[in-house]
Structure 1
Amino acid sequence: MDPTVLELLDREAIRACVARLARGEDRRSAELILSCWWPDARFDYGVHSGDLAAYLAWVVPGADAIKNTQHILGQTHIELAGTSARAETHVVSYHRVDLGEGDRDTCIGGRYLDTLEKREGAWRIADRVMLYDWEQDWGPAADWSRGVMGYPFTAAHFAGRAQGDFSVNWFQGASK
């Protein structure tokens, strides 16, 4: 295969892996998460670190205090070196948390530093470090029962994962 085409395919596979992991984290899906990490992988988020088993136990089903998350990925800078790569991905993550004083909406901005390896044709994460650039507490959580900006929702699924996850059925071809 043309080396330029192969490099483009590798870069896209790495971006897809990082995006799939964010989706898996937001849905607390062990299946999606496991598809992104090598079994011998390590992670360090500053507040929690360890091996893949520790990561999975931390994220699935997730802490009771963290009721909802959404990870929004920005640019991914990738440096390829054969069957290994280093990637820095900007992330903004929203969290609805309850630390005993009611639901609050918070947001964190940072970067994932991933070391990825291509084994048997698949790119997955071998090591991840999370860097934190900022954090903001947005205050008491929004009340989704009221809709948005004063307009009521016409169906429960418009509130995203606050009322389940409509996108799972949507991707499977089922709707409403």
Structure 2
Amino acid sequence: MSTLQTVIDRIDIGDLMVRYARAVDRCDAALFASVWAPDALVDYGDGDTAAMAWSDGLVGRLRGMDRTQHLISNSLVSLDGDSARAETMCTAYHRFTEAGVALRMLVGGRYLDRLVRTGDGWRIAHRRYVMDWNETEPSTMQTDGRFARFTTLGSRSPDDPSC
């Protein structure tokens, strides 16, 4: 494999990881379809599940939260022709209300992915999630006072300003 192709593949795989995070945070089912290979599987601790069915369930659960933000970092990719393996770190912020109390939950983990090159580009064929840590505490988010001038807030698809 040429050095140029290696660079292109790494950039494309990085874009794939970011597209996944965007699909989660915007609750965008159509965008989820662009990250999974046909017959892709995910394992978030309860065994392998069909990726698209899992994504549909995730969108439903996340719509019950006020907001989320998934940050992707430190991706280690091993290329082998039309397949690859990647370990990618993720830090996720979730804000939700439980028993009338606004909470924030931070979760740190890693995606262990097996990827394949398809006719539509790189896709995730199998994802295993490893949680490394989590914290839940009352939220201190403010939209008044010093933050009142920030009148554009993020939201779910299709209402988010980026959509």
Name the TM-score class by shorter chain. Answer: 0.7 to 0.9
Q: Aligned in 2, Cα 1:128/1:165: closer, same or farther, shift over 3 Å?
A: same
CA gap of 1:64–1:13, structure 2 versus 1, over 3 A, is closer
- 1:167 aligned partner: 162
State the TM-score, normalized to the length of structure 1: 0.82
Deviation string, structure 1 residues 126-149 (Cα, Å, up to 9, x no partner): 000011111011x22234332xxx
Shift of 1:104: 0.4
* 8 Å CA contact retained: 1:28, 1:62: no
Considering Cα pairs closer than 8 Å and 6+ residues apart, tell me whether 1 or 2 has the greater RCO: 2
Task: Tell me the amino acid that sits aligned with residue 148 of structure 2.
Answer: F
Structure 1, residues 48-81: CA drift from partner, whole Å, max 9, x if none?
A: 7510232122222334543321001111100011
TM-score normalised per structure 2: 0.88
Residues 124, 64 of structure 1: alpha-carbon distance in 2 compared, 3 angstrom cutoff: closer
Aligned length: 161
Segments of structure 2 that go 5 or more residues without pairing to the other structure are none
Choose from 127, 132, 154 the match for 2:149.
154
Question: What percentage of residue pairs aligned between the two structures are identical?
Answer: 34
Does 1:46 find its partner at 2:45?
Answer: yes
Note the aligned Cα RMSD (angstroms).
Answer: 2.1
**1:77-130 CA distances to partner (integer Å, 9 max, x unpaired)?**
000111110000011000113333422001001100011000225100000001
Superposed, 1:16-165 pairs within 5 Å as 16-46=15-45, 49-63=48-62, 65-120=64-119, 122-137=121-136, 139-146=137-144, 150-157=145-152, 159-161=153-155, 165=160
Conservation of the 8 A alpha-carbon contact between 2:37 and 2:118: no
Q: Which segments of 5 or more consecutive residues in structure 1 lack a partner in the other structure?
A: 169-176
The runs of at least 4 aligned residues of structure 1 exceeding 4 Å deviation read none
1:17, CA displacement in angstroms?
A: 0.4
Q: Which amino acid aligns with 1:93?
A: A
Partner Cα separation in structure 1 for residue 5 and residue 63 of structure 2: 43
Amino acid of the residue matched to residue 154 of structure 1? R
